[in-house]
Amino acid sequence: MKALQEKIVTEGKVLSDTVLKVDSFLNHQIDPHLMKQIGEEFAARYQEAGVTKIITIESSGIAPATMAGLIMNVPVVFARKRKSLTLSENLYTAKVHSFTKKETNEISISGDFIQQDDVVLIIDDFLANGQAVLGLLDMIEQAGARLAGVGIVIEKGFQSGGQLIRGRGIRVDSLAIVASLQNGKVEFMEETSTL
């Protein structure tokens, strides 16, 4: 997706060979026009998949997932990272380790919002090591729902997550795949939709 790649190049900040900061349009401040384009792209790619729910993980996946949900006319459910007094029964849970934040969280989704007859699309902001996606996949399996695929805004193609998820035979659609962050420069791979 050219508009996304241009935004990454002009506003993204390479902090190291593995860390790309995109908080000016995705992870802190949100560019709603770009999120709308991202939502339209995911909706177009999954229009024939019969999606009934979109799930993501708080908080940076919520904006692109919500835009896709709006365009696809399906609810968006986000996995919570923090315990809640109102979310205590009928939960699907999974542990997710963040290599960037160096912490493990137990994420949860209410069983009221994902059912056995749902066809679920996962949307997230980044795919690096694949741990967030694996946690969401675990909860979809707990619910007995069916997976349509995984939509990723930015994939770090030089890390193992994409290969790990695709290696399970899962469709992954990444709108921008970063091949390298070496020497402070962002280099992209071709866009991909793979099974």
Binding site listing for xanthine? 20, 27, 156
Binding-site residues for 5-phospho-alpha-D-ribose 1-diphosphate, in ranges, read 128-132
Number of H helices and E strands in the chain, helices first, is 5, 11
HEC letters along 84-147? ECCECCCEEEEEEEECCCCEEEEEEEECCCCCCCCEEEEEEEEECCCHHHHHHHHHHHHHCCEE
Report the DSSP beta bridge partners of residue 79.
57
Binding-site residues, in ranges, read 20, 27, 128-132, 156
Residue type, 56: T
